[in-house]
Structure 1
């Protein structure tokens, strides 16, 4: 009787081993090609689609913190600029990186937000933290995103978040009115209205 029972157990064990082997090979293949980040990001974007993770513009308000505009940036074309170029406008600034799955997950909804906001007083600064600016250039070109992307040359202490992505909204008066750590769904009517109300201050 023991001999009869051992055969199904061996068969089940072989199937499980084969399944785990396939998962490992797929995972290793994705990792070595660098596509694991995008696959994880795609899965996380499905979570964002549900609308569960939305920025709370009321709880996120930082009282008394002023923006630091002394933040040198590099455009995708390799030209040096600074956050100070946008002083006096509402700034939606997202710190992201190509190696960050949650960053990749929220980018499509940020692109939709950017497409929907038609206001010259609101600017987008998608600030890449990649050490090699070329990685950001290649990624944006491959994905076809059209929002303004910059490489961060020096990050002021006020934006030194340990979480990537982190998004800041800066008012025209230079107040940091929102800081959201982690991914979120930004292309909502509530958040659009929040941005527009800040630009009217």
Structure 2
């Protein structure tokens, strides 16, 4: 049987799809596509009437040194919680924006980068990329209001426990919109 031009194009199409799905080439492509999306999408604030408040801050976490930390200790702070993993292309895509935000706000708000991954993979990823943000691992279930079936999921929580921003998927967290929202929350917090 002689292969026609149509057969060859079908074979090439299947090979390209297989590369994207099953190889690191695919991961690279997925990261780049998510980064392109992030050029156009930054997180939006949730309308006041639609904001949900975290009802229970009892949530045990483990930091990268193995120390148990309770989320309750962070109650009353402005908190950014990011659920992520090193194997997740949208997570990898948005991490540079989160790292830049962390670099500028680490002394002003509390950051909780919650890894859904093996510690050795996370440590290698952080070292490779030069990230120094605080990574935690969950010991038990997160508060109901912070549960999401997908990663990345990121929440910005005000000092009263209200979720001000929530996004599922990759977004530019170093945007003017996010920075303005954080600055507004900090100004309001200081005024109280």
TM-score of the pair, normalised by structure 2? 0.81
CA shift at 1:94, angstroms?
0.8
Q: Work out whether 1:40 is the aligned partner of 2:30.
A: yes
**Compared with structure 1, are the counterparts of its residues 92 and 61 closer, same or farther at alpha carbon in structure 2 (3 Å cutoff)?**
farther
Partner residue, 1:19? 12
Distance in 2, Cα, partners of 1:115 & 1:133: 22
1:181 aligned to 168, 171, 183, which one? 168
> Counterpart of 1:194?
181
In 2, Cα distance between the equivalents of 1:133 and 1:69? 24
Alpha-carbon distance, 1:28 to partner: 6.8
CA shift in 2, pair 1:134/1:70, >3 Å: farther
- Any idea what the Cα deviations from partners look like across 1:127-179, whole Å, max 9, x if unmatched? 1123x333322222222222221112222222111222111111122222222
Tell me: CA distance 1:111–1:29, structure 2 relative to 1, closer, same or farther (3 Å).
same
Unaligned runs of 5+ in 1: 1-6
Is the 1:62–1:176 Cα contact (8 Å) retained in structure 2?
Answer: no
Matched with 2:102 is 114
- Please state how far the C-alpha of 1:55 moved relative to its aligned partner: 1.1
CA distance in 2, matches of 1:61, 1:105: 31
Correspondence for 1:102:
90
Closer, same or farther: CA 37–79 of 1 in aligned 2, 3 Å: farther
Structure-2 change in CA distance of 1:161 and 1:22 (3 Å): closer
Equivalent residues in 2 for 1:69-88, closer than 5 Å:
69-88=57-76
Shift of 1:61: 7.0
Which of 66, 82, 89 in structure 1 is aligned with 2:54?
Answer: 66
Compute the TM-score of the two structures, normalised by the length of structure 1: 0.77
- In 2, are the aligned partners of 1:92 and 1:122 still within 8 Å (CA)? yes
Q: Where does structure 2 lack aligned partners over 5 or more consecutive residues?
A: none
Q: Determine if contact 2:62/2:139 at 8 Å carries over to the other structure.
A: yes
CA apart distance, 1:27: 4.2
What residue number does 2:135 align with?
Answer: 149
Q: 3-state DSSP class of the match of 2:180?
A: helix
Q: Does residue 56 of structure 2 align to residue 56 of structure 1?
A: no
